[in-house]
């Protein structure tokens, strides 16, 4: 096995949850995502979690913002594309 193949094998995340459970969970949330009662309950739980875990939430927000800035820098500006054409 070459070095590149070894790196690829190492980066594959091994999931411990069985496939049928992942599929069932995904199907459940697909069905529920447009249910207003479910959405309200989900939002309330998220607010409660953020209130209890302010430090974690702030850290996640910092990481998210940094990721968004990085992706925005990588995207070519639509204005630049307009000028080139």
**Token match 């998210």: residue?**
64
Residue 41 lies in a domain: yes
Output the pTM of the full model. Answer: 0.50
Q: How confident is the model at residue 66 (pLDDT cuts 50, 70, 90)?
A: very high
CA angle 66, 9, 68 (to 5 degrees): 10
Residue 47 lies in a domain: yes
Domain that holds residue 49: 18-72
Residue 28 lies in a domain: yes
> What's the mean pLDDT in 2-27?
78
Residue 35 lies in a domain: yes
Residue 12 lies in a domain: no
Residue 81 lies in a domain: no
- For residue 42, the model assigns a pLDDT of 93
Residue 85 lies in a domain: no
How many structural domains comprise the chain? 1
Q: How confident is the model at residue 7 (pLDDT cuts 50, 70, 90)?
A: low
d(CA 46, CA 39): 10
């Amino acid at each position: 096995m070459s070095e590149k193949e070894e790196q690829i094998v190492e980066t594959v995340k091994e999931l411990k949850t069985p496939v049928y459970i992942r599929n069932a969970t995904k199907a459940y949330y697909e069905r529920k995502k447009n249910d207003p009662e479910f959405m309200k309950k989900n939002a309330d739980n998220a607010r409660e979690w953020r209130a209890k875990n302010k430090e974690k939430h702030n850290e996640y927000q910092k990481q998210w913002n940094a990721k968004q800035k990085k992706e925005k820098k990588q995207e070519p500006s639509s204005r630049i594309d307009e000028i080139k054409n």
